[in-house]
Amino acid sequence: MIKVYGPITLEPIYDVYYLVTVILPNGEIREWVKEGEEYSIKAPRTIQVSDDVKLVFHKWVGDIDASVPEYTFEVNKPMVIVGVYERYYRVSIDSPLGKDYRWVPEGNPLIIYEPPELPGVLTIRVLSYYIS
């Protein structure tokens, strides 16, 4: 509101805002950001899907390209940014030497070394095969 004491010309001035959409496996964030302002995004490094499956942050794609989970950039257009994750599986190893587990990226090989022979007091065990 302004007080008018005579003829006056008013001109409204508008700021430009752009819609920034951040897409992650666990949800989507949409925010309006003023043109030229810096905007920060942060993705969780890991997302536990179940006891045997987790997602690990890999990179950002779309209107930005970055390989760190926390990234700040200037907004000068509408943007869509997607967090890319790699799926990891828990592989349990149960051998006479004990129990262990490893997280392995989907599609990657897992190298397991077990000694070919396990000498005992009266017996010996010889590795013959793996079961899955």
Tell me whether residue 1 is in a domain.
no
3-class secondary structure, 38: strand
- The pLDDT profile of the chain, 132 residues, written as one tens digit per residue, is 888 999 999 888 999 999 999 999 999 999 999 999 999 999 999 999 999 999 999 999 999 999 999 999 999 999 999 999 999 999 998 877 778 889 999 999 988 777 777 666 555 666 676 666
User: How many domains are there within the chain?
Assistant: 1
Tell me whether residue 64 is in a domain.
yes
Strand stretches in 52-111, DSSP E:
53-62, 70-74, 79-95, 98-105
Tell me whether residue 89 is in a domain.
yes
- CA 68/CA 130 separation, integer angstroms: 38
- CA 61/CA 72 separation, integer angstroms: 14
Domain range holding 37? 10-132
Tell me whether residue 68 is in a domain.
yes
Tell me whether residue 37 is in a domain.
yes
Tell me whether residue 27 is in a domain.
yes
